[in-house]
Amino acid sequence: MSQETEQPEKGKNVRISGAIETTFTPEFLKDIKTGQEQEQTREGNRFLVEKVTLLVIIIYTALAFWQGCSNQKAANAAKNAADTEKAALIDVQRSFLYVTGIPIFPVTDIQKPDSISGFVSGVNIRNSGATPALDSVYHVNWVSLDKTIGKDFGFPDVDERGEAPNSEPIPGFWGPGSESKSTDIFIPISRAQDAQSRKKHLYIYGWIKYRDVFQAATDMPHRTLFCDEILFDASPIDNIKTLHAPRYATCPLHSCTDEQCAAQGYR
């Protein structure tokens, strides 16, 4: 490399002109090239590090999201298991009231021991649960119909003689595993004779409502509906040969509990 310079000498009228020649050694040029290559390498490494860092961040974020989803699934599974266990415990422990039988007894006239004026009946109600039934009320009724009981039967509440409407429920209490009989209802002999001759169909029916100990006071109570036809087609009663002993047969409808009753249209 050469460079021409002109430098006047101070204080004299002398002009100096010439050229300065600079020469770089091969080692210096090699060092410069090596430095440039190292800089390019550093830039390449920096870019690679940035890409690897970004990839690590993406992987970490994906793993964190997956772990969060897994934890949520695990939490949901644990909650579902706990809910299932609780529901199973309630099903086993809660009170459950149902009718176990319908006792029917003839009523004789004191003045005429060989005559029957009618029948006294009711229902036996049992609690099969391991906890008491709370706020229990029930109603037992009977009805004599010209034809078999239909799907649209309205379950009216009547008095013990099946005559006047009576909407007053009867309170009761059933502890764990206990059983007791309802109040009595009276069925006149004429209705029994109509049932025996098949002129009429005689039914005893009713409902039970109660809460279990796991329910809140505002929860809808449990309910049991029962319906049985009274048939007088067994062997004749000893002292009244013209009247047969009664038996009962469950109605195809109107005998249900809780969700089953809702499915039959009872609200």
Model confidence pLDDT, tens digit, residues 224-252: 999 999 988 766 655 555 667 788 899 98
Token pair of 6, please? 């002109």
Closest by CA to 131, choosing from 173, 93, 98, is 93
Q: Which position has the token pair 């009576």?
A: 166
**Burial call 56-84: b when 16+ CB within 10 Å, e when fewer:** eeeeeeeeeeeeeeeeeeeeeeeeeeeee
- Average pLDDT of the chain to the nearest whole number: 80
pLDDT of residue 39: 64
Give residue-wise pLDDT tens across range 56-76: 788 888 777 777 777 777 667
Query: Would you state the pLDDT for residue 228?
Result: 95
The reply to whether the predicted model has a pTM over 0.85 is no
Residue 69 dihedral angles phi and psi, to the nearest 5°: -65, -40
Compute the residue count for the chain.
Answer: 267
Taking the C-alpha atoms of residue 267 and residue 254, their distance in angstroms, rounded to an integer, is 13
Question: Judging by DSSP bridges, how do beta strands 236-237 and 222-231 pair with one another?
Answer: unpaired
75-82 long-range Cβ contacts below 8 angstroms, 24+ apart: none
Q: Residue ranges of the domains in the chain?
A: 24-93, 97-263
- Tokens coding 110: 């004191």
Residue percentage of the chain with pLDDT more than 70: 72
Contact 150, 231 (CB under 8 A): no
Q: How far apart are CA 157 and CA 207, in angstroms?
A: 10
pLDDT at 38: 61
Read off the DSSP letter of residue 68: H
List beta partners, residue 249. 229
The share of the chain scoring above pLDDT 90, in percent, equals 34
Q: Quick one: pLDDT band at residue 2, thresholds 50, 70, 90?
A: very low
* pLDDT value of residue 200: 93
12 has pLDDT over 60: no
Instruction: Give the H/E segment covering residue 197.
Output: none
The pair of structure tokens assigned to 165 is 């409407």
pLDDT exceeds cutoff 90 at 267: no
Q: Give the model's confidence band at 85: pLDDT under 50 very low, under 70 low, under 90 confident, else very high.
A: low
48 confidence band (pLDDT: 50, 70, 90): confident
Determine the longest span between alpha carbons in the chain, in angstroms: 174
pLDDT at res. 94: 92
Q: Which residues pair with 97 in a beta bridge?
A: 127
